[in-house]
A and B are shown apart, each in its own frame.
Chain A
Amino acid sequence: MATPIGKGHRSLNLTLRKELNLYANVRPCHSLPGYKTRYDNVNLITIRENTEGEYSGLEHQVSFTTIDMTYYHPISDQYNLFSNFGVQVVRGVVESLKIITRQASLRVAEYAFHYAKAHGRERVSAIHKANIMQKTDGLFLKCCREVAEKYPEITYEEVVIDNCCMMLVKNPALFDVLVMPNLYGDIISDLCAGLVGGLGLTPSCNIGEGGIALAEAVHGSAPDIAGKNLANPTALLLSAVTMLRHLNLHDKAEQIQKAILNTIAEGKYRTADLGGSSKTTEFTKAIIDHL
């Protein structure tokens, strides 16, 4: 759903996430066999806190109130004690609030470790910038450490985000499951999507309390190619596969995933963003044929 830049209403995507309390965004990033990018060995999952952090939408122009205590009345030539309230906006200063709560951090850390255990993953890395934002990211890390103690069989490590970016572009095989607050998660998960081939191929799943799952493709609404039958449906199809796995329909999920991977590996039908010239409908038909 499109969001206007720099002005206008709050993102509808964000509103949906807040209403349904979708607290974790899970994005598996795997190198697709058959679609070669500069990186061959990407096999990681990014789990991003979805409700708070920098995306709380709480911004304001800094202002302060002024109170005038005396007031001179020119006609009656008298000084009256009069309170005159005013609001002075400081031009050109804006503040944005980043909020980290213990509850939300614990929730997403729990989900990350639970996911790692359920899918046989060995390592969970918490990404942070606690050397600069000591209290906020420090709280996030404390929560992650608490949860890590309950899962002694899974290795837990903490990586500063700039170091993480560097390691990801040099050697993505170093990471397994990544758990992070909202903004870092946004950036890192898009970076990982870039490593495997771009937004046309990346699925994601938003997890809410009570087992709600909302699977969606990562990419935006792409208004420039809307309606032209050019879009790559792989991302949304792979998201549907993630949803099927969440519903424990593993065999159906496997079937569809194999069909998609085989179609891409063959290379005959590829949409424009993968370097081919097929239309969306042709690509979909090829996948159905492979089922």
Chain B
Amino acid sequence: MARRSLPLLKHLLSRRIPTRSVTYMHRPGDGSPRPVTLIPGDGIGPLVTGAVEQVMSAMHAPVYFEKFEVHGRMKAVPPEVVESIRKNKVCLKGGLVTPMGGGVSSLNVQLRKELDLYASLVNCFNLPGLPTRHDNVDIVVIRENTEGEYSGLEHEVVPGVVESLKVITKFCSERIAKYAFEYAYLNNRKKVTAVHKANIMKLADGLFLESCREVATKYPGIKYSEIIVDNCCMQLVSKPEQFDVMVTPNLYGNLVANTAAGIAGGTGVMPGGNVGAEHAVFEQGASAGNVGDDKIVEQNSANPVALLLSSAMMLRHLQFPAFADRLETAVEQVILEGKYRTKDLGGTSTTQEVVDAVIDALD
């Protein structure tokens, strides 16, 4: 009896329950193409943004791109680019290289300050089919983007002594805490963790923590906890499943986001973006160490997955959920199959091969 019922049981369990597609009732006219500013950038930027363009046109998504050439060595972001982003409200960009050692301040940071994109979001999660040392990772790092250690206020006091100012304000800390809790509320996340170093920087990070605690009282359904940044990094490499949404000031956010991205699969696959009150700029989640190195560009083996997933986030932001779902399903299927993977994931494909595979996987 048991032997005969086993294959029957397996058949019953494997039969797919037909899922209803999500019905999004749009307003008439929502389907007309939306303009999105596109900045290819430097290094691997043109490769990966080219990948997004190809996939978007294959899907016939209702977006069209206004391309602008911006390079990291320029003195400032050209005003027509900023105007375009202000008009379109949404931008997709590859990384901009920052020359090391002095002179020009990073254009990435300049753009964020100019448009007041105060929240940077990176979603680090395990992709099915991609083997990593850590499982059950699903962390969203929300990082304050405008102040903190990246204020750019440095000066030489006397020859051989340099000071850098880290500025923390209640205004910025409050709004990033509000964004983090709102994100958790809207996305059904259960926990928000604030990352800090207030045992050493009592006033600065103490102010950040105070703001987080105040906002936490307004969301009683979401669990709030605090963790010191060095302990946080240690916990990330040993028990990453304990983290859900993390809210951090500027510098710690950079480190935590990159560590979380590393344990979940690498910078090549994590989506992310920067958002402010009025504009949103989507880019690769975790910085690839100053736009990756030249070898990757030569061999055309940059990983387009991160920017493709970020563009899916962008489609959802523009309220085209069905397109976003199609794109994400296609990308996840390509990763699951494992045939087309770029070098950073352990494969040998070029960017173009991965893009073609994604286009084939689109339904």
Interface residues of A (CB under 8 A from B): 3-8, 11, 14, 37-39, 54-55, 57, 59-61, 91-103, 129-136, 138-139, 141, 159-163, 165-170, 183, 186-191, 193-195, 198-199
In contact, B167 and A134 (Cβ under 8 angstroms): no
Contacts of A160 in B (CB 8 A): 289-290
Report B237 CB to chain A, min CB distance, Å. Answer: 4
In contact, B169 and A190 (Cβ under 8 angstroms): no
A93→B105 CA distance, assembly (Å): 23
Contacts of A7 in B (CB 8 A): 202, 206
Contacts of A191 in B (CB 8 A): 230, 233-234, 236-237, 259
Tell which of B5-13, B148-156, B217-225 binds the partner.
Answer: B148-156
A6→B236 CA distance, assembly (Å): 23
In contact, B202 and A6 (Cβ under 8 angstroms): yes
Report A17 CB to chain B, min CB distance, Å. Answer: 12
Contacts of B288 in A (CB 8 A): 163
Contacts of B105 in A (CB 8 A): 132, 134
Query: Does B235 sit at the interface, judged by CB under 8 A?
Result: yes
Contacts of B267 in A (CB 8 A): 166
In contact, A99 and B163 (Cβ under 8 angstroms): yes
> Which of the four size classes fits the interface of chain B?
35 or more
Tell which of B58-66, B250-258, B302-310 binds the partner.
Answer: B250-258
Given contacts A139-B162, A190-B231, 20 further A-B contacts (CB under 8 A): A6-B202, A8-B202, A54-B149, A54-B166, A95-B165, A96-B201, A96-B204, A97-B163, A97-B166, A98-B165, A99-B162, A103-B160, A132-B105, A132-B149, A135-B154, A135-B162, A168-B262, A191-B259, A195-B237, A198-B234
Report A97 CB to chain B, min CB distance, Å. Answer: 6
Contacts of A101 in B (CB 8 A): 160-162
Contacts of A39 in B (CB 8 A): 133, 237
A270→B163 CA distance, assembly (Å): 47
Query: Does B284 sit at the interface, judged by CB under 8 A?
Result: no
With A11-B199, A130-B100, A191-B233 known as contacts, the answer to whether A136 contacts B169 (CB < 8 A) is no
With A163-B289, A198-B234, A198-B238 known as contacts, the answer to whether A94 contacts B204 (CB < 8 A) is yes
With A190-B230, A194-B237 known as contacts, the answer to whether A93 contacts B170 (CB < 8 A) is yes
Interface residues of B (CB under 8 A from A): 98-103, 105-106, 109, 133-134, 149-150, 152, 154-156, 159-171, 197-207, 209, 229-231, 233-238, 251-252, 254-255, 257-259, 261-263, 266-267, 286-290
Contacts of A130 in B (CB 8 A): 100-101
24 A-B pairs (CB sep. < 8 Å):
A5-B199, A6-B206, A7-B206, A55-B200, A59-B201, A60-B203, A91-B170, A93-B170, A94-B168, A97-B163, A99-B163, A100-B162, A103-B160, A132-B152, A136-B163, A161-B254, A162-B258, A163-B289, A166-B259, A166-B261, A187-B255, A194-B237, A194-B238, A198-B234
A194→B259 CA distance, assembly (Å): 12
Contacts of B257 in A (CB 8 A): 162
Contacts of B290 in A (CB 8 A): 131, 160, 163
**Least CB separation from B204: chain A residue:** A96
In contact, A190 and B233 (Cβ under 8 angstroms): yes
Which of A4, A135, A167, A188 has a CB less than 8 Å from the CB of B199?
A4
A191→B197 CA distance, assembly (Å): 15
A112→B134 CA distance, assembly (Å): 32
In contact, B286 and A166 (Cβ under 8 angstroms): yes
Contacts of A54 in B (CB 8 A): 149, 166, 200-201
Report B190 CB to chain A, min CB distance, Å. Answer: 24
With A131-B106, A162-B286, A169-B237 known as contacts, the answer to whether A102 contacts B259 (CB < 8 A) is no
**Least CB separation from A58: chain B residue:** B163
In contact, A95 and B200 (Cβ under 8 angstroms): no
Most buried by B among A5, A135, A162, A191: A162
In contact, A190 and B165 (Cβ under 8 angstroms): no
A253→B251 CA distance, assembly (Å): 39
Which of A61, A102, A131, A166 has a CB less than 8 Å from the CB of B100?
A131
Contacts of B160 in A (CB 8 A): 101-103, 139
With A135-B154, A135-B155, A138-B101 known as contacts, the answer to whether A165 contacts B255 (CB < 8 A) is yes
